[in-house]
Amino acid sequence: MQAAEAIAEPPPGGIDLAADFRDSGVAEILDELDRELTGLKPVKQRIRETAALLLVERARKQLGLTTETPTLHMSFTGNPGTGKTTVALRMASLLHRLGYVRKGHLVSVTRDDLVGQYIGHTAPKTKEVLKKAMGGVLFIDEAYYLYRPDNERDYGQEAIEILLQVMENQRDDLVVILAGYADRMDRFYQSNPGFRSRIAHHIDFPDYEDSELLSIAETMLAKQNYVLDDAAKVAMGEYIGARRTQPHFANARSIRNALDRARLRQANRIFESAEGPVTAEVLSTIRSEDIRASRVFSATPQGPAEEGRA
């Protein structure tokens, strides 16, 4: 990584880590994570530990202690909608504030951005993505799709080989984060040990609790000047419990989709019943019927998922 410039003469009194922590802006980034993400205490703790490691490593360099640039490639595992991309964005900012990457930007990609469909297409695609990501963080979502051993004409292995080479040879200028379901990522690492040997930080993102998802729902609505009335809060809590048992549940992502549909129902309800001026309170309140009209309440656990359905 592009570390901060070393001090020519070590400070006689040593390094004030607390002051360095404040001045670096890392505290601000960690506070942003706390505000943006409900729950995820184990994840936030790992990010704080990583920040502490990098602060100490920077202090060691300033004091002239022998040190190597720490390996910062990471693995984020967990179900969809658990905040992996948000944490990756904040990690890019944190690394930039501490001088471990030049730019602090995040490039988020999937297999389709890296792997071509024909001979000769993969290398240029992969190298172009890496060029854009240099100086920052490359986030590869569902990274296990890069490897498809059952298809002998698949070109994902070519992308993997290029990535491994860059992760090793240019780790001073790029941090790679691989993300996906935990079980699939485990199989991916078993099949591609080169990745596991280059990744020092493995962070697991737990599913949200029902109460956390309800809090997330209220936060999402508040950002758009909506509120749940008391009955709607009860309905939303029941919705969360029922939706979790159905296929393709995606934590906060599923909650966002559900709220989009609730707002659609609310708008239709207001429009059809309006006979005169409507107040801001009416326009901003989600009621129980806007939630309970969801098919989730009539579906079985084995039935169709709510995702994408009105």
240 or 59, greater pLDDT: 240
The arithmetic mean of pLDDT across residues 208-229, rounded, is 96
* pTM as predicted: 0.84
In this prediction, residue 17 has a pLDDT band, given cuts at 50, 70 and 90, of confident
CATH pick for 17-205 out of 1.20.120.160, 3.50.50.60, 3.30.1330.90, 3.40.50.300: 3.40.50.300
Alpha-helical runs (H) found in 74-121: 84-97, 111-114
Q: What is the pLDDT of residue 310?
A: 39
Q: How many of the other CB atoms lie within 10 Å of CB of 88? A: 20
67 or 294, greater pLDDT: 294
- Is 70 exceeded by the pLDDT of residue 297? yes
Strand partners, 77: 180, 204
Q: CATH topology for 210-297?
A: Helicase, Ruva Protein; domain 3 (1.10.8)
Distance CA 292, CA 285 (A): 15
Q: Kindly report, as residue ranges, where domains of CATH 3.40.50.300 are found in the chain.
A: 17-205
Contacts of 110 (CB under 8 A, 6+ apart): 140, 141, 142, 145
Contacts of 279 (CB under 8 A, 6+ apart): none
In this prediction, residue 188 has a pLDDT band, given cuts at 50, 70 and 90, of very high
- Is 70 exceeded by the pLDDT of residue 16? yes
- Is 90 exceeded by the pLDDT of residue 93? yes
In this prediction, residue 300 has a pLDDT band, given cuts at 50, 70 and 90, of low
Q: Looking up tokens 């098919």, which residue turns up? A: 295
Lowest mean pLDDT among 20-29, 97-106, 132-141, 260-269: 20-29
- Is 60 exceeded by the pLDDT of residue 307? no
Q: What is the pLDDT of residue 68?
A: 77
Q: What is the pLDDT of residue 42?
A: 93
- Is 90 exceeded by the pLDDT of residue 171? no
Q: Kindly report, as residue ranges, where domains of CATH 1.10.8.60 are found in the chain.
A: 210-297
Q: What is the pLDDT of residue 95?
A: 93
Distance CA 153, CA 307 (A): 33
Q: What share of the chain is helix, strand, coil (3-state, %, to 5)?
A: 55, 10, 35
The arithmetic mean of pLDDT across residues 79-101, rounded, is 93
Cα angle 201, 106, 205 (rounded to 5 degrees) comes to 40
Of the candidates 78, 86, 84, 153, the residue with the CA atom closest to the CA atom of residue 115 = 153
Distance CA 295, CA 66 (A): 62
Q: What is the pLDDT of residue 7?
A: 43
Q: Tens digits of per-residue pLDDT, 37-61?
A: 899 999 999 999 999 988 888 888 8
Say which DSSP state 102 is in: S
Of the candidates 298, 300, 286, 280, the residue with the CA atom closest to the CA atom of residue 255 = 286
298 or 229, greater pLDDT: 229
Phi and psi based region of residue 225 (left: phi greater than 0; alpha: psi -120 to 50; beta: remaining): left
